[in-house]
Chain A
Amino acid sequence: MRVKVVFHGSYREVTGFKEKYFQLPENANLLDLLKKLESLYGRELTGQLIDYKKNEIWSLMAIAVNGKILSNINKFNCPLNENDEIIFLPPALGG
Chain B
Amino acid sequence: MHSSYGGQIAVVDLSNLDYQISETPEDLRKNFLGGNGFGAKLLYENLSPGIDPLSSENVLIFALGPATGTLIPSSSRYGVFAKSPLTGLFFDSYCGGTWGEQLKRAGFDALVIKGASKEPVSLVIENQKISFKHTKNLWGLNTLEAQRQLNKELGEGFTIAAIGPAGENLVRYAAIISETRAAGRGGMGAVMGSKMLKAIAVKGTGDIYVADSKRFMDYIKELQIRIKQHPGTGNTLPNFGTSVGASSFNDLGILGSYNWQKETFDGAYKISGQYMYEERIYQKTKACLNCSIRCSKVAKAKKGIFKDFATEGPEYETVFSFGSLCGNDEIGSIIAADRVCDELGLDTITAGAVLAFVMECYDKEILPNHLFEEVKKYNITFGNLSNIDTILEMIAFRKGIGDFLAEGTQKMAEDLGKEALDICTAVKGLEVPGHTARGLKGMGLGYAVSNRGGSHMDTRPTVERSGQYDPFEIKGKGSLMKENQNMTTIGDSLIICRYTEGIFGFFINDDFVKIANLTTGFNYSLEELKQIGERIYTLERMFNVREGIDRNKDVLPHRFLNEPISDGPRKGHLITVKELNFMLDEYYTARGWDKETGIPTDETLDRLGLLEIKERKGNYAS
Contacts and interface: CB of A to CB of B under 8 A. Distances in A.
Interface string A4-15: 001011101100
A48 B433 CA distance: 28
Contacts of A40: none
Interface string B232-257: 11011101101011011101110000
A66 B570 CA distance: 11
Contact of B456 (A10, A67, A69, A95): A95
B502 A60 contact: yes
A63 to B, nearest CB: 8
B595 interface: no
A69 B248 contact: no
Interface stretch (B149-157, B458-466, B552-560): B458-466
Interface in A1-58: 6, 8-10, 12-13, 47-49, 58
A16 B30 CA distance: 52
A64 to B, nearest CB: 6
Given A93-B499, A94-B316, A94-B434, A10 B236 contact: yes
B274 A9 contact: yes
Interface in A59-94: 59-62, 64, 66-67, 69-72, 87, 89-94
Nearest to A18: B269
Contacts, number: 118
Contacts of A71: 466-468
A13 to B, nearest CB: 7
Contact of A8 (B253, B274, B435, B471): B274
Contacts of B564: none
B231 interface: yes
A8 B467 contact: no
Size bracket of the B interface:
35 or more
A58 B230 contact: yes
> Which of A8, A47, A58, A67 has the most chain B CB atoms closer than 10 A to its own CB?
A8
A92 B231 contact: no
Given A95-B317, A95-B457, A67 B248 contact: no
B467 A93 contact: no
Contacts of A9: 236, 239-240, 244, 248, 274
Contacts of B570: 67
Contacts of B231: 10, 47-49, 58, 61, 91
Given A10-B236, A48-B231, A58-B231, A93 B501 contact: yes
Interface string B33-46: 00000000000000
- A6, A69, A72: residue with the most chain B Cβ atoms closer than 10 Å: A69
B316 A95 contact: yes
Contacts of A95: 242, 316-317, 433-435, 456-457, 461, 498
A36 B230 CA distance: 23
Contacts of A13: 239
B618 interface: no
Contacts of A6: 251
Contacts of B433: 95
A12 B248 CA distance: 12
B505 interface: yes
Contacts of A89: 248, 252
Given A94-B434, A95-B461, A69 B466 contact: yes
Contact of A87 (B251, B462, B502): B251
A87 B252 contact: yes
B243 to A, nearest CB: 9
A interface majority secondary structure: loop
A90 B434 contact: no
Nearest to B465: A92
B181 to A, nearest CB: 15
Contacts of B248: 8-9, 87, 89-90
Given A6-B251, A89-B248, A95-B461, A58 B232 contact: yes
Contacts of B466: 59-62, 69, 71, 92
A87 B248 CA distance: 8
Nearest to A88: B248
Contacts of A64: 251-252, 467
Interface in B116-156: none
A48 B240 CA distance: 14
A76 B520 CA distance: 43
B569 interface: yes
Interface string B218-239: 0000000000001111011101
A69 B465 contact: yes
Given A90-B245, A94-B462, A61 B232 contact: yes
B456 A94 contact: yes
B502 A91 contact: yes
B569 A58 contact: no
Contacts of A93: 232, 236-237, 242, 244-245, 462, 498-499, 501-502
Interface string B246-290: 011101110000000000000000000010000000000000000
B65 to A, nearest CB: 19
Given A93-B232, A94-B462, A95-B433, A60 B501 contact: yes
A12 to B, nearest CB: 7
Interface in B541-576: 569-570
20 contacts: A6-B251, A10-B239, A48-B231, A58-B232, A58-B502, A59-B468, A60-B501, A60-B502, A62-B467, A64-B251, A69-B465, A71-B468, A87-B252, A91-B233, A91-B236, A92-B461, A93-B499, A93-B502, A94-B461, A95-B317
Interface of B: 230-233, 235-237, 239-240, 242, 244-245, 247-249, 251-253, 274, 316-317, 433-435, 456-457, 461-462, 465-468, 471, 498-499, 501-503, 505, 569-570
Q: Which 6 A-B pairs have the closest CB atoms?
A: A91-B232, A71-B467, A69-B467, A67-B569, A62-B467, A92-B466
Given A9-B239, A71-B467, 16 more contacts: A6-B251, A59-B503, A60-B466, A61-B231, A61-B232, A62-B466, A69-B467, A72-B467, A87-B252, A89-B252, A91-B502, A93-B501, A94-B317, A94-B461, A95-B456, A95-B457
